[in-house]
Every structure is written in C-alpha cells, then in structure tokens.
Chain A
Amino acid sequence: MKLNRRQALALSAGAAVAVVAGLRTAPASAAVEDTQKRIMEFTGGKTPEAGKLTLTAPEIAENGNTVPISVNVESAMTGDDMVDSVIIFAEGNPNPEVATFHFTAMSGSASATTRMRLAKTQNVIAVAKMADGSVYMDKKEVKVTIGGCGG
C-alpha cells in the first residue's frame, strides 16, 4: 500500500491520539495501588493526616536520575513528642519504595535530605509515623523533564 502525504498525516495523527488516550487511562496503575497498599502496611492500617510533615522536592527536576528531596517533621524529639520513622514512596517508579528514615532522640530533629531517582513525572509521597502511633502524610508532584541532548 502506498500512502499519499495527506493519508500518512491522518494516520500518524490517529496514532498520536491513541497514544495520548492510552496515557490518560494509564494512571489507575498497579504502582499507584501498590503504593496505597504499602502506605497502609507502614501505618498499620491508619489513614495518614495532613500536617506536621513537610516534604520538599523540586517542582521540576532537571534530571530524573538525581532529584533532591527533604523531609521535616515538627517535633520536640523528646518524651512522647517523638518521630519514629518517615517512609518515602515514588508512585510512578517501577518499584514505589525509595527509603525509610529512622529517627531517635539523639537525632535532635526529624529532618533528612537525600537524592532519588524518578522514572517519570509523578507524585512523591512521604509518610511519618510518630512514637504515639499517629501518622502524617505529605505529597509533591515532581515533573521530570526530557533533556534535549543533555549538555
């Protein structure tokens, strides 16, 4: 079959629509559900609230292979006001787990920074577990850009 230019364009436009439609329906993905399941495992079935925990991540990552992220939980880090751990998920990665930070009274504060990999634009989620069992969550969307030639 030989296509003329107009037919070829129409076909490629159709293909593009199909691709976009495919992407639109994709996000009900296994990874997102998996992340929800793992959050519940971490919290022991409690739904985390907003507040106390702040996740800092760039709105746009220049390179998905190295994205700086920080977490900070408001806490005196003494007595009952203590943070046990903070877990990080990337719900669009092949495996959503990223890291779990464990804090102690000697941490002085519940804050930590690291650098992580993001396979594509997605939500990064942090969940904090306090010593008293309460749980908090924060979420940031990080756009992962596609480099030109990458200079």
Chain B
Amino acid sequence: MATPKPRVKVPKTATAGEVIVLKTLISHDMESGQRKDKEGKAIPRQIINKFTCEFNGAPVFSCDMDPAISANPYFEFTAKVAESGTFTFTWVDDDGSTYTDEQKIEVK
C-alpha cells in the first residue's frame, strides 16, 4: 500500500462563533483482519485506529475507529472557533505511523 495521503476541506474564512463544516478523507485499505488471502491465510488487521482534529492545540473532535470503518476513511464534522489559527488533523495507524495535515483559517 502506498503511503496514506490525507485530504482535508476547511473553509478559508469564517466569522467568530460560526459553526463550520470540516471534511477529511485519507487513502487507506483499512484491512479488517477478517479477510483471507489466496492461500486461505488470514490477512492481518491494519487499520487507522484514531483520528483527531485540534485547533491551535485544543481538541475539537476525535474518533476511535474499529475495523468496520470503510476503506479510505471519510469524516464530516463541525467546528466553532473564536479566532484565526490552524487546524491540525492527525491519523494514527495500527503500525504506529501517524499522518498529519494542517489548514489555516482566518476568522473575521
């Protein structure tokens, strides 16, 4: 599997206290551990097990994931911020790798 690549969608600007919609997608097979290969051997589980979104270091939203989450995990959720700053998105893989992305937002 190629290195998972995150995509995030954050509005460029917002007004203070506005509830904005954030969307994230990351390429990942989310191997459930339930499948078998051609020889009938179980394919070991390898999923992204945690996703977090922080704003200027403070937690906004997070999700603990089990193997029932589909390949290429997709999330849509909301955020409300009072000042301009940076959203940090982090995905944690079963193998210990983390994948991150950042997006700035200007609050008027």
Name A residues whose Cβ lies closer than 8 Å to a Cβ of B: 65-67, 70, 77, 90, 93-95, 97-109, 111-118
Contact = CB atoms under 8 A, between A and B. Distances in A.
Contacts of A105: 80
B75 to A, nearest CB: 5
B29 to A, nearest CB: 12
A99 B69 contact: yes
Interface of B: 19-20, 32, 34, 55, 58-71, 73-81
A117 B32 contact: yes
B79 A106 contact: yes
Contact of A111 (B63, B67, B73, B78): B78
Contacts of A77: 80
Nearest to B64: A100
A110 to B, nearest CB: 9
A66 B70 contact: yes
A95 B34 CA distance: 10
A113 B60 CA distance: 15
Given A103-B61, A115-B73, A108 B68 contact: no
A114 B63 contact: yes
Given A102-B63, A107-B77, A117-B68, 20 more contacts: A65-B71, A90-B68, A93-B68, A95-B66, A101-B62, A102-B61, A106-B79, A106-B81, A107-B79, A108-B19, A108-B78, A108-B79, A109-B80, A112-B61, A114-B69, A114-B73, A115-B69, A116-B70, A117-B70, A118-B68
